[in-house]
Structure 1
Amino acid sequence: MPAGGTSTFHGAQVIENGEIRKEPEYLTSFWTDHALKFIDQSAKNPDKPFFLFLAYNGPYGLSRYQLKPSGNRHEKFYADKKMPSFPRGVIHPWEYNNREYFGNPVSIRRYGEELSAVDDGVGSVMKKLKDLGLDDNTLVIFAADQGWAGGQHGFWGMGDHTRPINAFDFSMKIPMIFRQPGKIPAGNTPDIHVTNYDFMPSVLSYLGMADQMPTEPKSPGRDFSKAMLGEKTDKWD
């Protein structure tokens, strides 16, 4: 995306094959469509590993468009929903930027609409891998860059955007799921606190490529691949 961030989900500028153009399709669906095409193309060379980085930019909580419905296929479903799981309490005094979204039924429903579109996309990718017989031989990582608040503790939006920074669960407990049937035990939830810095050493170790970890500059990341496999990790503070 030329702007380097999200300004709209319809008619957004995208860079495709070096060309900048406006994309009329709902942006989350657009990313999904391209991911599925990439997997289909990669499957034609079964002996060649592939890497797919699918970075959905929704749900997104910083722009004015949160004051209107999403316009995606889930809008009608959410139109009359009360969404009681979103707290409607007192706005925290540290919440400066998103006060008009807090407790706003349109903004709350919009979040549900955007999240359901991501659910569609992830489901389509997982189905594609299974249909092509690739799911057992593919490491799938589902993660996010930061947490999100939907009214919890009086906050709305990106978890790390409060001033001062908070340390509530919605900021610290960011989704991180690793999946590969037959290798990673299902339902395993390690009781350790990891960060995005730990991604590279852990994934390289899991793939048997620990020797490819760069030595300069020295990374603060640590290897939690044993925890992924359900094994006891070394001392982890």
Structure 2
Amino acid sequence: MTTIVIIGAGRGLGAAVARQFGHGGFDVALISRSQDRLDALAAGLTAEGVTAEGVTARGFTADVRDPSALEAALDAATATLGPIEVLQYSPVPQKEFMRPVLDTAPADLAGPIEFSLYGPVTAVRQVLPGMRVLGRGTLLFVNGGSAVRPHPERAGTSIAFAAESAYARMLHETLAPDNVHVGQLIIPGAIVPGDPNTDPAVLARRLWDMHGERKGFRHYAHDLDS
């Protein structure tokens, strides 16, 4: 059995993806900054029966802006649960990253770039050797609409998401010969429970299909103008 690691796991999309992949036969590694929240999430998944029949969910603490902590969490997930076949990078950006463009100084970009570029680069470099040993892997990047349509009121995130998108697309092209699929899911606007396009369970199925079908790079939860 192999593992999906969800970086930025929470009670919404992260939990839905954990359910989807857990029921699909994966062990689930959850990474975020709060061990208490991770433990509660893992316990909730167990209570729902997601962890039945040998499927397990465990939480590992790391701040994506701390490369050493993120590397250690990924190593611990591998040692505890087994080889990582799927990595999802989907932490929610912090509010201070979303300053208007004319109010954004160079120093204001350090946090967003650490969060949305250095974090995924660290994570990919840590899990890629194991995927190559497995002979397969999937890297899933989840971003908001500003990744493809910059928003002047959210300058830091727009700039950092664009950098993350460029990095992910280069990986998509470079890693295909290694049987490592790289895909990006763009979610314009908010994740809304009950919405036919952005309900967490709907998005989780989209990510499951992206992993299984391995077609194309960029996918949209819905049209940017809808």
Q: Same fold (TM over 0.5)?
A: no
Q: Quickly name the TM-score band, shorter chain normalised.
A: 0.3 to 0.5
> Relative contact order (alpha carbons < 8 A, sep ≥ 6): 1 or 2 greater?
2
Q: Which has the larger radius of gyration?
A: 1
Q: Hey, which of these two has a bigger chunk of strand by percent?
A: 2
The normalised TM-score by structure 2 is: 0.40
